[in-house]
Structure 1
Amino acid sequence: MIGEYIDRAQSGTTDNRAEFQRMISDSDRHTFEAVIVYQLDRFARNRYDSAINKAKLKKNGVRVISARENISEDASGILVEGVLESMAEYYSAELSQKIRRGMDINAQKCLSTGSNPGLGFTVDTDRQFHVDPDGARIVREIFEMYAKGATVADIIKSLNDKEVKTSKGKEFNKNSLHRMLRNKRYIGNYIYKNVEVPDGMPRIIDDELFDRVHRILNRNAKAPRQNKRRGRISANNQAVLRLLQRDDDRLRRHFQDRTAISLLRL
C-alpha cells in the first residue's frame, strides 16, 4: 500500500469529492496498479459515475478491488459487479426518498427538519422549536437598532466588536444580517419549501417592529436604483451640453429638437 484517499463524512452518491478526484488524477502518473475499497458502494453509488471513473482508471492500468465482495475477473464478475452497483444505487435512492418523506411529515407538524434553526431558537430532542433567551435578546436588539435608523454597516460593526456570532458560528456580514431581518420565523411563521404556517413556531419579534423594519429595507433597496437613474440623467445632460458647446453648426441644429430640450430639463 502506497497511500490512502479518504473523504470523511461525504456521500458516495457523487464523485465531487476532493480526495476521490485526487485519486483519479494521481492514476495518470501510473504509480499504482489497483485501488482497494471496503465495498463497491464506497467507490460510487451512481452507476454512471462508477462507469466513467472506472474507465479512467482502467485507461491508466488501474483496477478497483472490493475487500468485502468477492468478484471474479471473468465474465461472471462483470455481471456480479453490475448487480452490486445497481443495488447500491437503489438503496441510496430509497434512503433519499425515506429522508424526504420524513422531512415532509415533520414539516406538517411544524417540527424541525434538521436545518439550522437560526439565531434565537433551539430545537429539543422531539424536534420542537423553543426560544433561546440569549439569542432572542440579540435578535431583538438588531431589529430595534435597524428600526431606529442604524445602518447595516453600523450594526455589523457593533456585533462583530462584541464578538457576537451568527447561528453558524461565523461573523456577521451584509448577507447574514439581511437574511435575519427578512426571516419570517421571527414573527412565528414556520417555513418549509414554499409553505408558510402562521404561528407554527414561537415568535421573537412583534408584527409592528417587523413591518417597520421591512418598510425601511424596501425603501433602502429602491434608493440605489433611483440614484443610478439620476446618475444616468446627469451624465446624459453633461454629454449634450458638451456637444452644444462645440463650434459645429450641424450638431447645434441637431440638438435644437424637442428631445434634446426635454433631456436638458430632466
Structure 2
Amino acid sequence: MHQDKDKTDLKPVRAAQYVRMSTEHQQYSTANQDDVIQDYAAKRNFQIVKTYADEGKSGLSVSGRISLQKLIADVQNGAADYEAILVYDVSRWGRFQDADESAYYEYLCKRAGISVHYCAEQFENDGGPTSTIIKSVKRAMAGEYSRELSTKVFQGQCRLIELGYRQGGPAGFGLRRMLIDQSGEAKSKLARGEYKSLQTDRVILVKGPEQEIETVNRVYKRFVVDGQRERQIADQLNAEGTTTDLGRPWNRGTVRQLLTNEKYIGNNVYNRTSFKLKQRRVCNEPENWVRKDNAFEAVVSQELFYTAQGIIRERAKCYSDDEMITCLRLLLEQSPTLSAGLIDAADNTPTSSSYRTRFGSLIRAYRLAGYQPDRDYEYIEINQKLREMYPDLIGDVIARLGAAGASVTQDVDTDLLLINGEYSASMVLSRCRQTKSGSLRWMINVERKVAPDITILVRMDETNENVTDYYLLPIMDIQTPRLLLCESNGVYLDTYQFDSLDYFASLSERRKIEVAA
C-alpha cells in the first residue's frame, strides 16, 4: 500500500517548453535549449507534452513571435493542458527593452495557475524575494544586451565610415564601387548587383566613366552658372539620350539628388536616418551625421558644389507656408487636378518633396490650397515613401548576405537577387491598410514572370513608417498571384513569418560537409 502511494506522489507534472533562437547566438540553438530543458524536466519530474518554438526570431518584442503569442493565448483562454512552462533562461523568454513587459507575460501565466521555470538559471523561480530581485536584474541585462549589441554594431559601422569605406547603397551616376582587400589594394570594380563575398574586403567609391563625369559637371554648371532649374536640366539630359545610373529618364528629383549628395565632392556621410531596436525611423540632425570628408576622389569642385547648396537653400527660404500654398492655388487655376508630376514640372513652384517636408504630405497641402481629389490619394504618398525606402532595405539584405559569406548578384532590370548562384529572391514592400472595422490588411502581388524562389514580403506598420515583420514565401507554396494578409493568417502562412532577416541571411551560409571515416 505504501509503495502504491509513493508512485502516485511521483506522477509527472505536465509541462510545455518554449524555445527561441535568434541567429545572433548560435549557441542558443533550439536543439541545445531542448537538451537542457529535457535534463531539467527529468530531474524535476516534469513531463513535456507540448513545444512552442520560435526559430530565427528576435527577442526585442512579442511581434512576429507566433509561438509565444500562441502560448500566451492558450494560457489565457484555458486551452493549456499543462501546469508549468519550461524555458532555457530569462533571455530566451525575451530581450524586451521594457523589463516590465517580460514580467507581464510571465504574470499572465502565473495568474492562470501555470508556473514558469528558467532551466539554465542559477536561481529557483519560486516567487521569493531573492529570485524576484535576481530575475529583475536578469531581465534588465537581457534588454541591455540588445542595446549594447546595437551600439557596438553602430560604432563598428561608424568606424568604417570614418575610415572612408562605403556602407551599402548604389554608387550613383558618375561613380563606381571599387572592391579593395584588407591591405587596401584594389581588386575590381563592382557592377550593379554585385557585392563583396569576403568579410575582410571593403568597398570605396571611385570615379566612373569620363563621359559620366563630364555630364555631372555639366549639370552643376547649368544649375550654378546658367541659372537653369532642375526640370530644364532633366529635359536636356533626356533629349541628349542620357539616362540615370538605373537606366531611367531624368526628372527633377533625380537631378536634385545629384546636386545635393556630398559624395560628389568625396565626402562619406552616414546616419542621416536611423532605425534602432525596432523603434521609429528618425531623420537625424546634421550634427549627428557620421562623416569622413575627402574620403574619395571628388567628381566636382567644392566651390561648385557649395555654391549649388547655397542656391538651393536660398530658394527654399524664399517661400513661406502661405506662399507655397498660393503657388498651389495658382497652379490649380491652370489645371483641374494636382499631382506630384505637375508640381515638379512647374518652374515657379517648390518641388513636391518640399511640400511633403513642409506639410507632412501632398494631400494635406492640397487641402490647404482648397483642392479635394475625387478619391483618397493618400496611398500614393505612402507608395512614394515605400519606393524611397526600398533601396535601403534591399541594400540591407545584400549586406547581410555578404556578411554571411554569400555571393550575391542583382539583376539590373528586375532587382532579382541570385544567391550563391543557386536560388533567387525578390523583395516586395506592402503598405498597411485599415478596414472600416479597424482590422489591418496587407496585399501582395506575386511576380510570376520573374518567379523568384523566395519572395521577401516586408509588412509595414499602421503608420506605414516602419517595418513590422517579414514573410519569407517560397514560390512553390504560393498558389495564387495575389495574397491578402491579415494580422493573423494561420499556421499555413505564419510559419513563414519572421521578426528580422537574420534567419534569411543564415540560409546562405556555407558549411563544410563532414567526411566519413
- Which residue pairs with 1:244 in the alignment? none
Please say if 1:144 is aligned against 2:197: no
Query: 1:147-192 deviations in whole A, cap 9, x for unaligned?
Result: 353429x68xx7xx989289xxxxx998887555422122112335
Rounded Cα–Cα distance in structure 2 between residues aligned with 1:9 and 1:121: 36
1:121 Cα deviation after fit? 5.3
Question: Which of 90, 105, 111 lines up with 1:40 in the alignment?
Answer: 90
Query: 1:71-101 deviations in whole A, cap 9, x for unaligned?
Result: 6453476566456445534544543454454
Question: Which of 70, 73, 98 lines up with 1:26 in the alignment?
Answer: 73
The aligned length equals 220
Q: For residue 65 of structure 2, give the secondary structure of its aligned residue in structure 1.
A: helix
- Which residue pairs with 2:63 in the alignment? 17
Q: Confirm or deny: 8 A CA contact 1:35 1:64 kept in the other structure.
A: yes
- Which residue pairs with 2:268 in the alignment? 190
Please say if 1:102 is aligned against 2:156: yes
Q: Confirm or deny: 8 A CA contact 2:72 2:109 kept in the other structure.
A: no
Rounded Cα–Cα distance in structure 1 between residues aligned with 2:147 and 2:155: 12
1:116 Cα deviation after fit? 4.4
Rounded Cα–Cα distance in structure 1 between residues aligned with 2:88 and 2:251: 43
Does the C-alpha gap of structure 1 residues 3 and 208 become closer, same or farther in structure 2, counting only changes over 3 Å?
A: same
Q: Confirm or deny: 8 A CA contact 2:89 2:121 kept in the other structure.
A: yes
Which runs of no fewer than 5 residues in structure 2 stay unpaired? 1-49, 181-199, 271-287, 330-517
1:41 Cα deviation after fit? 1.4
1:143 Cα deviation after fit? 8.2
Does the C-alpha gap of structure 1 residues 109 and 36 become closer, same or farther in structure 2, counting only changes over 3 Å?
A: same
Q: Confirm or deny: 8 A CA contact 2:266 2:296 kept in the other structure.
A: yes
Q: CA RMSD for the aligned pairs? A: 5.2
Q: TM-score, normalised by structure 1?
A: 0.52
- Which residue pairs with 2:104 in the alignment? 52
Rounded Cα–Cα distance in structure 2 between residues aligned with 1:64 and 1:139: 68
Residue type of the partner of 1:131?
V
Query: 1:206-261 deviations in whole A, cap 9, x for unaligned?
Result: 446534643553354345538727949x9xxxxxxxxxxxxxxxxxxxxxxxxxxx
- Which residue pairs with 1:203 in the alignment? 298
Q: Which structure's relative contact order is higher, taking Cα pairs within 8 Å and 6+ residues apart?
A: 2
Q: For residue 151 of structure 1, give the secondary structure of its aligned residue in structure 2.
A: helix
Higher deviation after alignment, 41-50 or 69-78: 69-78
- Which residue pairs with 1:225 in the alignment? 320
1:9 Cα deviation after fit? 5.8
1:171-190 alignment, distance < 5 Å: 181-190=259-268
- Which residue pairs with 1:169 in the alignment? none
Considering only CA atoms, is the larger Rg found in Structure 1 or Structure 2?
1
Residue type of the partner of 2:100?
Y
Query: 1:3-37 deviations in whole A, cap 9, x for unaligned?
Result: 6555x464x3x326343685587354444467665
Rounded Cα–Cα distance in structure 2 between residues aligned with 1:174 and 1:23: 50
- Which residue pairs with 1:129 in the alignment? 204
Give % identity.
20
Does the C-alpha gap of structure 1 residues 101 and 212 become closer, same or farther in structure 2, counting only changes over 3 Å?
A: closer
Q: Confirm or deny: 8 A CA contact 2:162 2:291 kept in the other structure.
A: no
